[in-house]
Amino acid sequence: MGLDIRYPIGLMFSIIGALMAVYGLVAKADPAQYHQPAGTNINLVWGIFLLIFGGWMLMMAIKAKKQNK
């Protein structure tokens, strides 16, 4: 089937990851308003992780496309 599912997965998690990481960075400036469970800025940490995961998925998809050519 003509769609490599790694593109949408990679793209979606990259966007969500970037969104969360930036939100974590900005919200950190106001610690009184920002709930950090168990002392972790979880948005920043997990956002970066999702960004890496999304990027890796995209890379795999692009690599597969090149190989098929």
Partner 1 sequence: MHIDLTWIDYSILALYTAFVVGIGFALKKYMKSSSDFLTSGRSIPAWVTGLAFISANLGALELVGMAASGAKYGIATAHFYWVGAIPAMVFLAVFMMPFYYGSKARSVPEYLKLRFDERVRALNSVSFAVMTVFASGISMNALAKLLNQLLGWDYHMALWICSGIVLVYVLKGGLTSAIYTEVLQFFMIVLGFAPVVYLGLKDAGGWSGVKQQLTNVASNPAAVNLVDDAAKKFEPNAWTSAWQPLIGGPSANPMGVDIFAMVFGLGFVLSFGYWCTNFLVVQRAMAAKNMSAARRTPLIAAVPKMVFPVLVILPGMIAVALTAIPDKGYRLPQSQIVEAKYPAAIAALKESAAQNADLKETIKSVSSAAGVGFNTAKVEALVKDPALASLSDDALKPRLQDAVVNDYDGVILSLVKRYCPPGLLGLALTALLASFMSGMAGNVTAFNTVWTYDLYQAYIAPHKSDEHYAWMGRAVTVVGILLSIGAAYFASMWTNAMDIIQLVFGFVNAPLFATFLLGMFWARTTATGAFVGLLLGTATSALFHAMTIAVGNVPGVKGGYIAQVATFPSDMAQNFWLAAFAFTVCFVLTAGISLTTARTKTDDELKGLVYSLTPRLKDEETSWYLKPAVVGIILLAVCVLMNIIFW
Q: Which is nearer to partner 1, 33 or 69 (CB)?
A: 33
Asked if 37 touches partner 1 (CB under 8 A), the answer is: yes
Q: Which is nearer to partner 1, 40 or 59 (CB)?
A: 40
Is 14 an interacting residue with respect to partner 1 (CB under 8 A)? no
CA angle 27, 30, 33 (to 5 degrees): 85
- What's the rounded Cα separation, in Å, for the pair 5 and 10? 9
Q: For residues 28 and 8, what is the distance between their CA atoms, to the nearest angstrom?
A: 30
Q: H helices within the chain, ranges in order?
A: 6-28, 42-68
Could you list the residues that contact partner 1 (CB under 8 A)?
1-3, 5, 8-9, 11-13, 15-16, 19-20, 23-24, 27, 34-38, 40, 42-43, 46-47, 49-50, 53
